Structure 1
Amino acid sequence: MEIIMKILENFEGYIILGLTISIIILLIILITTLKSLNRLENKYRKFMRGVDNKNLEELVTGYLDKIDKSGEEVEHIRKLYESLNSRLKSCLQKVSVVRYRAFEDVGSDLSFSIALLDENNDGVIITGIYGRNESTTYAKPVDRGISRYDLSEEEKQVLQDCVTRVLS
């Protein structure tokens, strides 16, 4: 133990000088770290201040609430779209008309056949035959593009036009 004490007494000046230099280096590191921390804290405060003195957490929470509300609205619109789309399938979507002269002694193309069909080719063919003394109108139901009644050439033509019409 005495040997260690003698060695420490011989190098006492160097040890104190080394410790003083270490303390000065540590103080410089501490000061630069505190400056960096202070700058970072200022940036953090600016960042958290946000808009209209709201902090970032309130802003993010508000935006997340808006996103949730938008998701609910999108789901509502999707359901509404599906409902409208299913209802639209049964609406008239295909129409075809042909005018013709039913009798040779009648001057103009006053007779007609019109087909009114939905997406599934269900609907009706309406035919109006005009003659000099009388006019007659017929309605023939159509189911999946086929009528269970006999069709005239003109009625077949309008039905074929409607069935082959492509919906856009």
Structure 2
Amino acid sequence: MQNIIGIINNFQVYIIAALFVLVVILLIMVITAFKSLNRLEGRYRKFMRGVDNKNLEELITGYLDKVDKVEKNSDDMKEIYKELDTRLKGCIQKVSVVRYRAFEDVGSDLSFSISLLDENNDGVIITGIYGRNESTTYAKPVDRGISRYDLSEEEKQVLQNSINKV
């Protein structure tokens, strides 16, 4: 026991220096830990701002409910869009008009042919023939770009013009 006390007395200065260095290292580690804790606390406060005494689970559940509601609204909008797209395909989308002189004795291009087609090239060709003594208007149905009635050159031209429109 005397030997141990003697060794400690001989190396007392070195032991105190080592303990001092150890205390300084521990002090630096404590300061670093406090800085990290302060940064973490700042991030936590930023994360929890506006919570108003709600716990995090309630807050996240509320946001997930909102996301589900928005997703349902999005699905509803997709269905509405599909329905409108289907209905739009049946609307008149391609129109073409040709004016011409049906008779040589009539001075101007007062006769006309107009085609009104949907996306599937279904529709009608309306033709108006203007003469000095009378005018006639008639319609010819078109199914998939083809009429079951004979078409004049002007009607063929107006039909082809409409079909070529995109």
TM-score, scaled relative to structure 2? 0.75
Q: Once the two structures are superposed, what CA deviation does each residue of 1:61-105 show, in whole Å capped at 9, x if it has no partner?
A: 665554444333333222222221111111000111111222222
Q: Tell me the matched-pair count.
A: 162
Task: Please give the secondary structure, in 1, of the residue aligned with 2:109.
Answer: coil
**Aligned equivalents of 2:31, 2:151: Cα separation in 1:** 97
Percent of counterpart pairs with the same letter?
54
Structure 2 residue aligned with 1:104: 104
Counterparts in 2 of 1:45 and 1:93: CA distance versus 1, 3 Å: closer
Q: 1:4-19 counterparts in 2 under 5 A?
A: 5-13=1-9, 14=11, 18=15
Q: Report the CA distance between 1:148 and its aligned residue.
A: 1.1
Q: Which runs of 5+ in 1 are unaligned?
A: none
Counterparts in 2 of 1:54 and 1:117: CA distance versus 1, 3 Å: farther
Q: Report the CA distance between 1:18 and its aligned residue.
A: 3.0
Task: Please give the secondary structure, in 2, of the residue aligned with 1:11.
Answer: helix
Kindly provide the amino acid, as one letter, of the partner of residue 15 in structure 2.
G
Q: Once the two structures are superposed, what CA deviation does each residue of 1:131-156 show, in whole Å capped at 9, x if it has no partner?
A: 23322221111111111110011101
**Aligned equivalents of 2:46, 2:54: Cα separation in 1:** 8
Structure 1 residue aligned with 2:34: 35
Kindly provide the amino acid, as one letter, of the partner of residue 156 in structure 2.
K
Kindly provide the amino acid, as one letter, of the partner of residue 10 in structure 1.
G
Q: Report the CA distance between 1:112 and its aligned residue.
A: 1.2
Kindly provide the amino acid, as one letter, of the partner of residue 148 in structure 1.
R
**Aligned equivalents of 2:38, 2:99: Cα separation in 1:** 86
**Aligned equivalents of 1:55, 1:30: Cα separation in 2:** 35
Structure 2 residue aligned with 1:160: 160
Task: Please give the secondary structure, in 2, of the residue aligned with 1:120.
Answer: coil
Q: Report the CA distance between 1:164 and its aligned residue.
A: 1.1
Contact 1:49/1:56 (<8 A) preserved: no
Contact 2:115/2:162 (<8 A) preserved: yes
Structure 1 residue aligned with 2:125: 125
Contact 1:90/1:118 (<8 A) preserved: yes
TM-score, scaled relative to structure 1? 0.74
Q: Which runs of 5+ in 2 are unaligned?
A: none
**Aligned equivalents of 2:76, 2:5: Cα separation in 1:** 87
